[in-house]
Amino acid sequence: MSRCAAIQMASSPNISSNLIEAERLINEAVNAGAKLVALPENFALMGQHESDKISQKEHDGSGPIQDFLANTAKRYAVWIVAGTIPIADPDNADKVMAACLVYNELGERVAKYDKIHLFDVHVPGSDEVYRESDTISQGNQPLVIDSPFGKLGIAVCYDLRFPELFRTMQQQGMEILILPSAFTHKTGAAHWELLLRARAVENLCYVIAPNQGGFHVNGRQTYGHSMIVDPWGAVLDCHKSNAGFVTADIDLARLHKTRESFPVLQHRQIICG
Range of the domain at 91: 2-261
Based on the residue annotation, tell me whether 23 is a catalytic residue of this protein. no
Give the CATH number for residue 76. 3.60.110.10
pTM listed for this prediction: 0.97
Residue 268 falls within a domain, yes or no?
A: no
CB neighbour list of residue 127: distance below 8 Å, 6 or more residues apart: none
Residue 163 falls within a domain, yes or no?
A: yes
Residue 166 falls within a domain, yes or no?
A: yes
pLDDT of 16-63, one tens digit each?
Answer: 999 999 999 999 999 999 999 999 999 999 998 888 999 999 999 999
Residue 271 falls within a domain, yes or no?
A: no
Based on the residue annotation, tell me whether 186 is a catalytic residue of this protein. no
Based on the residue annotation, tell me whether 41 is a catalytic residue of this protein. yes
Residue 213 falls within a domain, yes or no?
A: yes
pLDDT of residue 122: 87
**How many domains, the chain?**
1
Quick one: pLDDT band at residue 125, thresholds 50, 70, 90?
Answer: confident
Residue 171 falls within a domain, yes or no?
A: yes
pLDDT of residue 83: 96
pLDDT of 52-104, one tens digit each?
Answer: 999 999 999 999 999 999 999 999 999 999 999 999 999 999 999 999 999 99
Q: Which listed residue (4, 100, 157, 205) is catalytic?
A: 157
pLDDT of 170-206, one tens digit each?
Answer: 999 999 999 999 999 999 999 999 999 999 999 999 9
Q: Which listed residue (53, 57, 112, 115) is catalytic?
A: 115
Q: Which listed residue (21, 41, 132, 175) is catalytic?
A: 41
CB neighbour list of residue 215: distance below 8 Å, 6 or more residues apart: 10, 221
